[in-house]
Amino acid sequence: MKERLSRLEAELAKLREENEKLRARGKGDPPPFVKPASRGGKKPGRKPGHPPANRPLPAHADQEQTLTLTHCPHCGTRLSEPVEERVRYVEDLVPPRVQVTRYRIRRYFCPRCGKLVERKPFDVLPGHRLGIRLMAWVVYLREELRLPVNLIQRHLERAGVRVSQGEIEHITSRVAEELGSLYRSYREALRCGEVVNIDETGMRVEGRNWWLWGGVSKRPATVMFQVDRRRSSQVVEELLGEGFSGVVGSDFYPAYNVREGKKQRCWAHLLRATRKLGSEEGIKLHQELKGIWEEASRWVAEERNRAPPQEWEEWARGWEERVVELAQRDWKDPECGRIAKRLLKHRGELFTFVVCPGVEGTNNLAERVLRPYVVRRKISGGHRSRAGAKKHEVLMSVLATCRLRGEDFLAMVTTALQAAVASAR
């Protein structure tokens, strides 16, 4: 009780001090969360004598024009032959314009089949009036640029095309359907990955709480999302499959504890949790853990390639023993005790990145692929239907994988639609 009383009195004194600071602050001062502007006195821009960073010249020219003069534009004197020539490039944008094609389709009677036959157009899906290039452009605006439906309507109206909001959603659903086989191939590729980082974030579907799971692998470069109402280890098993033998990178959420095999827990999450500890013990715990993390990261970046693989295990074991010794101290702060239990429980999963090349010590890779959806969720608020959530898991997977592989998402969608047209002919 005395220890608890002293701790509460210290917290009360700290709160009183913060309250006095807030009262003493002037009305014109910025709030505490605003970072002060740097006062270094340096002028922005490059320093004198630095080589310029000019815009690179275009690799090609779509058209070429020759500009000539017959009279001086200043005094009107007639000019003779030019004495030199200068080349100048101008890059400009051609406003989008709808292209309407009217097909005159000749129909023939087949005496053997007893049917009327005709040749199908090659640039439109059956049952659609909008061409595949326009459909791919709508999906590009909706998914990669994250434009709302009403702004897509306004953009297309500028080009001379009027579409309803329902038709835009129908286009995205049809494209997601055509990309279904590609999405399933991503699942198989993810299960063959050497290292897979997984993370999850909340989402709203039909006004209820669902979860968006994201798995990413660099070898092979693949990103796959899965929308699910569960936040359990069953989803992890479905993502990775039974035969997965790689390393799983994740945070400390219990859903990742069930699966056996090599794991790498996220040091960023661990240090973020210890950074919030306000007691003296918490500050000391955070500083010592941060020192171990920085030392191990520096060794991996600078020394591991010069050391034989036999030493990698020894270095990892040494840092693991230091973490165990740190966790077994007699911590008075209950929050420090909670972190200590986590360290002991996952001590064999903190330094996998030391002994396994290609494994990162943090789960930032999975968090980065989820970030675009988090931004989109703040704008839209969620999905109105399960079908809408399911189609976006396909489109987001293709988009994120294209980014990771350096591929063109618009070209990928166009190719998929061209294949669908060819198979329907």
Asked if the model's pLDDT at residue 268 lies above 90, the reply is yes
Whether 293 maps to a domain, the answer reads: yes
Q: Binning pLDDT at 50, 70 and 90, where does residue 48 land?
A: confident
How far apart are alpha carbons 222 and 404 in whole angstroms?
7
For residues 233 and 258, is the Cβ–Cβ distance under 8 A?
A: yes
Q: Which of 15, 32, 10, 13 is nearest to 279 (CA)?
A: 10
Least confident of 256-265, 297-306, 362-371, 414-423: 256-265
First to last CA, the chain: 82
Whether 327 maps to a domain, the answer reads: yes
Whether 115 maps to a domain, the answer reads: no
Give CA angle at 278 (272, 345), nearest 5°.
50
- The total domain count for the chain is 1
Exposure of 98 in the CB half-sphere (CA atoms within 13 A)? 17
Q: Binning pLDDT at 50, 70 and 90, where does residue 18 land?
A: confident
* pLDDT (mean) for 224-249: 92
pLDDT of res. 176: 96
Indicate the SS3 state at residue 205.
strand
> Within 10 Å of residue 290's Cβ, how many Cβ atoms?
15
Q: Binning pLDDT at 50, 70 and 90, where does residue 49 land?
A: confident
Q: Which of 415, 294, 311 is nearest to 355 (CA)?
A: 311
Whether 289 maps to a domain, the answer reads: yes
Whether 291 maps to a domain, the answer reads: yes
Q: Binning pLDDT at 50, 70 and 90, where does residue 376 land?
A: confident
If you write DSSP's letter for every residue of 21-59 in order, what string do you get?
HHHHS-TTSPPTTSPPPP---PPSSPPTTPPP-PPPPPS
Whether 404 maps to a domain, the answer reads: no
Tokens of 163: 């579409």
Least confident of 23-27, 110-114, 154-158: 23-27
Range of the structural domain that residue 348 is part of: 267-362
Q: Which of 276, 256, 251, 281 is nearest to 360 (CA)?
A: 251
pLDDT of res. 382: 86
How far apart are alpha carbons 136 and 395 in whole angstroms?
12
Whether 299 maps to a domain, the answer reads: yes
pLDDT of res. 278: 85
The percentage of the chain sitting over the pLDDT mark of 70, rounded to a whole number, equals 96
The mean of the pLDDT values for the chain is 91
Whether 413 maps to a domain, the answer reads: no
Tokens of 302: 């600078």
